Structure 1
Amino acid sequence: MSVIAQIFVGLAGAFHLVVFAMESLLFRKPSTYRRFLVKDETEMAAARPWAFNQGFYNLFLAIGALGGLIWGGDKGHAIALFACACMAGAGVVLVASDRRMVRAAATQAVPPIIALVLAALT
């Protein structure tokens, strides 16, 4: 895998670590839950268990991407690229489920898609 592809894998992994923190650790803060289109504390309380769980999905994807880079070699890169494929798919699902989330979906999906394309070309 090229160094540029690895950089995009790293960006995708770092983004998913941030989202893990937002969903699982900081979700009770109004400035955080409003980013997820949650209007008030009542909605936040209802959404919090799902957000907490979703945050850990993001953590595990980040671990796959970053851990695969650290492990290196063909096996590590395969794990990193699989995590990127999952991230890209989740971004597509996000925008398909709610068009208002196009910016978030692009932020989530574009770096791993670039990593996948670059890895396929090298």
Structure 2
Amino acid sequence: MDLAVIACIAAALAAAVHGYIFVLETLRWEEPGTRRVFGTSPEQAAATRQLAANQGVYNLLLGIAALAGIITLVAGARGAGLAVLLASTGIMLAAALYLVISDRTKGRAAVVQGFFPAIAVVTGLIALGQVAS
């Protein structure tokens, strides 16, 4: 199987996860279920609503960028598509690594946030190397 296909599948799954994070952080931040996920009290959620929404928008935009890379690749611009895919999923992966480095108790969240981007980055880099050679 072409590694670019695996990178696209992983990037699409990463985009879906980041879209879900957008929903939690932007549309459902003060809901009890979301507060349980993030470990916040009603007061903390109310006080951080704007910050969470801003972060949620970042997550959504990263997901959109990953999808733009996939679309560009599928449209035939393999190198450019892989570059956009790698930039977006690389940022997702870096954010997941920062999360776990800054707070070891956030390991599970970092895995959820970074698993699919890690697969996309590794397979995307190998596929990009094949384009270059």
Give the whole-Å Cα distance in 2 for the aligned partners of 1:52 and 1:95: 21
Give the whole-Å Cα distance in 1 for the aligned partners of 2:33 and 2:5: 36
Partner of 1:37: 39
Partner of 2:122: 117
Give the whole-Å Cα distance in 1 for the aligned partners of 2:58 and 2:103: 19
Report the TM-score when normalising by structure 2: 0.86
Give 4+ residue runs of structure 1 displaced > 3 Å after superposition: none
Select the structure of larger CA radius of gyration.
2
**What is the aligned counterpart of 1:75 among 77, 80, 89?**
80
Number of aligned residues: 121
Gaps of 5+ in 2: 128-133
> Partner amino acid for 2:49?
R
> Partner amino acid for 1:8?
A
> Partner amino acid for 1:78?
A
Contact 2:86–2:125 (CA under 8 A) maintained in structure 1: no
Give the whole-Å Cα distance in 2 for the aligned partners of 1:71 and 1:2: 12
Report the TM-score when normalising by structure 1: 0.93
Partner of 1:64: 65
Deviation of the 1:76 alpha carbon: 2.4
1:11-67 residue CA offsets vs partner (Å, 9 max, x unmatched):
1111100100110011110111221121x2111111211110000000110010011
